[in-house]
């Protein structure tokens, strides 16, 4: 593979780790970040966390783990095509959902509501907490001690209040500037991955029909092409052939449009990219519109489908019960969390944060079992 573009993230000029470490003989810094993420406890738990469908509903649906792998594949393709740092993009992708609660967005909304008086709960910030503080892998420091660039990519969004406490990492949210291109790629790859795999999962679950989907321009364009060419194709292969072509179209558009923008903006370095007001890695206006329309469609027809909300309502209730029980009696958590929550001089805010960390780390099935045990 050719050399990196001038505006790619490079280890030699990276901002480094919070705790300095000697270089490894055979691996680069971003390789080590990726390896640390894959070996983390939080990463293994992604297998049992909901994307849209609760983990035990069927073996064919996406989980947070398979979602993260799909994000990584898309992001790596884009990074390589633009001569950016593919290894960094992979590390960010694999870590981007580490802080997600059980039960998908319903879980995160419920936990955020429980934490209302204690600083709230943001899953992006929680992913950063996992890699900075919660993983227990090293004698010398808490967390995984990842490089600045990986951490920059993990923190996709952040409220101004929390950004102020993060030092250099939080500054861009206050100054409304951009992260490096590798972080920008992962951010969009995430949206491309879920928009398309949720069409697949929603169709398989019987919650989205072919007719409904054909109302979506991105889908219908490819439907027309595939149907004309293979009129007798069965539903399963039809839907997969369509989704495959949809992803190809959107990703190709992303690469082409970004390459054009890079040419006209001509940043000389990653710091030039960081100084820009607008993101560089963006879809063309036309495809952006269609992709956004698909997102709105999924919001209305899948995420708010009665079958899905029936599950998510239950999940919200479970999170509320767990939070309330642990907060009033921290000894119901594992010893390690219980002792953190009851340490001398611990105020309610810190105690609530320990409870949130404990709940956020749970898999769907562990949360369900804990709920059973506590009621």
Return the number of the residue (64 or 172) whose C-beta is nearest Mg ion.
64
Q: Which residue sits closest to Mg ion, CB atoms considered?
A: 190
Residue pair 133/97 in contact (Cβ under 8 Å)? The answer is no
Contact region with Mg ion (CB under 5 A), list: 120-128, 185-193, 208-216, 345-353: 185-193
Return the number of the residue (104 or 330) whose C-beta is nearest Mg ion.
104
Return the number of the residue (105 or 227) whose C-beta is nearest Mg ion.
105
Residue pair 50/107 in contact (Cβ under 8 Å)? The answer is yes
Residue 190 binds Mg ion, judged by CB under 5 A = yes
Contact region with Mg ion (CB under 5 A), list: 34-42, 166-174, 182-190, 213-221: 182-190
Return the number of the residue (8 or 188) whose C-beta is nearest Mg ion.
188
Q: How far is the CB of 68 from Mg ion (least distance, A)?
A: 7
Return the number of the residue (94 or 354) whose C-beta is nearest Mg ion.
94
Binding residues for Mg ion, rule CB under 5 A, total 2
Map residues 132-171 to x or -, x wherever contact with Mg ion holds by CB under 5 A: ----------------------------------------
Residue 97 binds Mg ion, judged by CB under 5 A = yes
Contact region with Mg ion (CB under 5 A), list: 91-99, 213-221, 292-300, 354-362: 91-99
Q: Which one, of 42, 12, 48, 43, lies nearest residue 30 by Cα?
A: 12
Q: How far is the CB of 63 from Mg ion (least distance, A)?
A: 11
Q: How far is the CB of 341 from Mg ion (least distance, A)?
A: 29
Residue 122 binds Mg ion, judged by CB under 5 A = no
Q: How far is the CB of 96 from Mg ion (least distance, A)?
A: 6
What is the total residue count of the chain? 375
Q: What are the structure tokens assigned to 215, written together?
A: 């109302």
Is residue 281 packed enough to be buried (19+ CB in 10 Å), middle (13-18) or exposed (0-12)? buried
CA atoms within 13 A on the CB side of 108: 18
Contacts 24+ apart (CB under 8 A), 292-300: 293/216, 293/217, 293/218, 294/195, 294/199, 294/216, 294/218, 294/219, 295/191, 295/195, 297/212, 297/215, 297/216, 298/195, 298/198, 298/199, 298/202
Residue pair 216/293 in contact (Cβ under 8 Å)? The answer is yes
Q: Which one, of 179, 120, 170, 191, lies nearest residue 150 by Cα?
A: 179
| Site residues (vs Mg ion, CB under 5 A) | 97, 190
């Amino acid at each position: 593979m050719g050399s990196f573009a001038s505006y790619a993230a490079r280890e030699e000029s990276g901002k480094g780790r919070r705790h300095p470490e000697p270089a490894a003989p055979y691996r680069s810094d971003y390789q080590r970040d990726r390896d640390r993420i894959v070996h983390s406890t939080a990463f293994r738990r992604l297998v049992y966390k909901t994307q849209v469908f609760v983990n035990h509903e069927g073996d064919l649906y996406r989980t947070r783990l398979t979602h993260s792998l799909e994000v990584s594949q898309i992001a790596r393709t884009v990074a390589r095509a633009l001569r950016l740092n593919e290894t960094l993009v992979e590390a960010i992708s694999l870590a981007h959902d580490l802080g997600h609660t059980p039960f998908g967005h319903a879980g995160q909304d419920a936990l955020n509501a429980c934490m209302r008086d204690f600083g709230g709960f943001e899953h992006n910030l929680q992913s950063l907490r996992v890699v900075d503080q919660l993983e227990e892998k090293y004698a010398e420091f808490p967390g995984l001690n990842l490089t600045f660039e990986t951490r920059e990519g993990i923190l996709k969004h952040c409220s101004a209040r929390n950004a102020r406490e993060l030092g250099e990492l939080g500054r861009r949210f206050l100054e409304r500037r951009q992260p490096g291109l590798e972080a920008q790629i992962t951010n969009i790859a995430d949206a491309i991955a879920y928009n398309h795999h949720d069409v697949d999962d929603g169709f398989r679950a019987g919650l989205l029909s072919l007719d409904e989907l054909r109302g979506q321009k991105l889908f219908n364009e490819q439907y027309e092409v595939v149907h004309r060419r293979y009129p007798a194709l069965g539903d399963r292969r039809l839907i997969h052939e369509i989704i495959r072509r949809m992803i190809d179209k959107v990703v190709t558009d992303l690469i082409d449009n970004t390459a054009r923008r890079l040419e006209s903006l001509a940043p000389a370095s990653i710091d030039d990219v960081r100084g820009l007001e607008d993101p560089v890695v963006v879809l063309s206006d036309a495809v952006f519109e269609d992709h956004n329309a698909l997102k709105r469609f999924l919001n209305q027809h899948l995420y708010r489908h009665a079958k899905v909300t029936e599950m998510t309502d239950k999940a919200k209730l479970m999170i509320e019960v767990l939070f309330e029980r642990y907060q009033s009696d921290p000894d119901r958590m594992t010893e390690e969390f219980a002792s953190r929550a009851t340490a001398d001089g611990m105020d309610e805010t810190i105690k609530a944060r320990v409870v949130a960390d404990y709940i956020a780390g749970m898999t769907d099935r562990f949360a369900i079992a804990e709920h059973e045990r506590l009621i």
